[in-house]
Amino acid sequence: MSTKPIVEGLFAETADGARLLGSRCATCTTPYFPKSPVCHNPACTESKIADAAFGPKGKIWSLAMQDYPPPPPVKFDEPYERYAMAVVDLADGLRVLGRIATDDPESVQCDQDVELIVDVLHHDAEGNDVTTWKFKVC
């Protein structure tokens, strides 16, 4: 058994914590995740895209409870356990959706400080850990 990301190249664990791997326009500073080959900001004068890594610190902007199993192709371990999904404003300018890693999703609230982590999303048919990015409350 091993660990593998749900999608290669979307996130990474560094010595300083987890990061989302995206891009940013050097002209207008607009962040993109996943990576974008061009800048989509209509006010931008020149698209200059470079790779960028985002995270790990952020704050919960909005929050919802996933009370029922999402439809395919979403995968999860049985039995299904409800979880909190949040829209998080990362300190470096990216607003991104992510699951909150907690045993007590009812305790999660807007405006809480969170940190990006890489955590197990589910286990595949061979028993491997399939990972994704999540947020934990600081």
Q: Could you list the residues that contact Zn ion (CB under 5 A)?
A: 25, 27-28, 39, 41, 44
Identify which of residues 24 and 134 has a Cβ nearer to Zn ion in the complex.
24
Min dist. Cβ of residue 24 to Zn ion (A): 9
Instruction: Give me the long-range contacts of 88-92 (CB less than 8 A, separation at least 24).
Output: 88/58, 88/59, 88/60, 88/61, 88/114, 88/135, 89/58, 89/59, 89/61, 90/20, 90/54, 90/55, 90/57, 90/58, 90/116, 91/57, 91/58, 91/59, 92/31, 92/54, 92/55
The CB-of-38 to Zn ion minimum distance in angstroms stands at 9
The C-alpha atoms of residue 123 and residue 138 are separated, in whole angstroms, by 26
Nearer to Zn ion, 30 or 131 (CB): 30
Nearer residue to Zn ion within complex by CB, 40 or 82: 40
Q: Which is nearer to Zn ion, 39 or 53 (CB)?
A: 39
Shortest Å distance, C-beta 120 to Zn ion: 36
* Shortest separation between residue 44's beta carbon and Zn ion, angstroms: 3
